[in-house]
């Protein structure tokens, strides 16, 4: 029997507590550790990456024990024939971990975009953390909206199948489609902003806005932030359905998604200098999208309604490890010149 483990009317307080924790960590990050703009070193970014991943894993362990005890004390769940609190808690833990791995993997594409955008607008390393910090704040809002919509729409089987087909097509396009150079100035959002807000020709320190002769101007740092935010919205269209492919619980989708993007800034600073070495990773990400698309549109139904979550995690992790290892072992082809 398909039963909701974390209905919103029972667990609204969990969302509030989780977001309070997240905002507290972000305030600590910007207000204490990054109060002054500076270039983030590899050592610092590696330390923060470890912190965010460790926090996610500690949360997952705590979620397992909390779920096991709570499910056992919940009359609604225990009234379901054959319901096993321990098995359900294990499934919850694996689904969170799988969702976290999927989102973390797909976030690598964001890192490529960040590198291009910062280079295009010539943003100094000292200001990049500030842009990504506010980009993450915006991402939290938009991810919450996407997940809320997904929780409603994914109740309809035809929407699940359609989302699965969309992920398959996206994966195939990523695998076989030509790579197009990114042109941030062609972004429709940026064109719209420039129609209503004048933009300075040079940076004004770490400020997004500046007033000159009584006129409010945006700065290139603001434009960079908008491009980063717009890019995250585009990526969310892929990543949110991908996590819904492994769990129908919005709470797990939300928490795994947020934990993954919280560590995105530090991951960027850690990998930015070597990101070009992962030239075959896009094929791994494409296969992950195809796999989760197949889960949604076919495999779940073929396996009696739920493809084994442990096997899903193993397949996804295996694809990513192989593609990353192949990137290091097989050098990229030299660029051809005419």
Q: What is the pLDDT along the chain (338 residues), one digit of tens a residue?
A: 478 999 999 999 999 999 999 988 888 776 666 667 667 777 888 888 899 999 999 999 999 999 999 999 999 999 999 899 999 999 999 999 999 999 888 877 778 788 878 888 888 888 888 898 888 888 888 889 999 998 898 888 899 999 999 999 999 988 887 766 666 667 777 888 888 899 888 888 889 999 988 889 999 899 999 988 888 888 888 788 988 988 989 999 999 999 998 888 888 888 776 777 788 888 998 999 899 999 889 998 888 878 898 899 899 989 989 998 998 888 877 655 44
Under DSSP, is residue 93 helix (H, G, I), strand (E, B) or coil? helix
The distance of Cα 142 from the centroid of its chain, to the nearest Å, equals 11
Which residue bears the tokens 């075959």?
A: 280
H helices of the chain, in order, are 8-28, 42-72, 75-78, 85-120, 125-153, 157-176, 188-196, 220-244, 250-262, 264-271, 281-294, 300-302, 309-329
Q: What is the pTM of this model?
A: 0.86
> What CA dihedral angle connects 121, 127, 130 and 131, to 10 degrees?
0
274 near 321, Cβ under 8 Å? no
Q: What's the rounded Cα separation, in Å, for the pair 300 and 303?
A: 5
**Where are the chain's structural domains?**
8-329
Locate tokens 């770490």: which residue? 206
**Please, which residues have CB within 8 angstroms of residue 183's CB and are 6 or more apart in sequence?**
none
């Amino acid at each position: 029997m398909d039963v909701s483990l974390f209905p919103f009317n029972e667990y609204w307080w969990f969302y509030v507590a989780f977001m309070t924790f997240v905002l507290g960590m972000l305030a600590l990050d910007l207000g204490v550790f990054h109060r002054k703009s500076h270039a983030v070193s590899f050592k610092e970014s590696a330390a923060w990456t470890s912190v965010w991943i460790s926090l996610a894993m500690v949360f997952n362990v705590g979620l397992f024990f909390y779920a096991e005890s709570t499910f056992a004390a919940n009359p609604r769940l225990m009234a379901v024939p054959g319901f096993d609190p321990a098995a359900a808690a294990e499934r919850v833990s694996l689904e969170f971990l799988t969702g976290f791995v999927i989102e973390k993997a797909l976030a690598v594409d964001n890192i490529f975009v960040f590198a291009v955008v910062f280079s295009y607008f010539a943003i100094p390393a000292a200001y990049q953390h500030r842009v990504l910090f506010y980009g993450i704040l915006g991402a939290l809002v938009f991810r919450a909206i996407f997940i809320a919509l997904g929780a409603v729409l994914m109740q309809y089987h035809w929407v699940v199948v359609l989302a699965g087909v969309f992920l398959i097509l996206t994966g195939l396009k990523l695998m076989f489609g030509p790579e197009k150079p990114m042109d941030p100035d062609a972004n429709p959002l940026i064109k719209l902003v420039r129609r209503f807000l004048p933009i300075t020709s040079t940076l004004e320190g770490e400020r997004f806005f500046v007033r000159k002769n009584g006129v409010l101007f945006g700065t290139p740092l603001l434009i960079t932030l908008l491009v980063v935010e717009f890019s995250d919205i585009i990526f969310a269209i892929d990543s949110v359905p991908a996590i819904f492919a492994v769990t129908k619980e919005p709470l797990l989708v939300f928490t795994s998604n947020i934990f993954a993007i919280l560590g995105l800034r530090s991951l960027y600073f850690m990998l930015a200098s070597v990101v070009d070495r992962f030239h075959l990773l896009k094929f791994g990400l494409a296969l992950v999208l195809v796999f989760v698309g197949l889960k949604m549109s076919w495999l779940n139904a073929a396996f009696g309604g739920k493809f084994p979550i442990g096997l899903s995690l193993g397949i996804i992790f295996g694809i990513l490890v192989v593609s990353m290892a192949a990137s290091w072992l097989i050098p990229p082809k030299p660029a051809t010149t005419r």
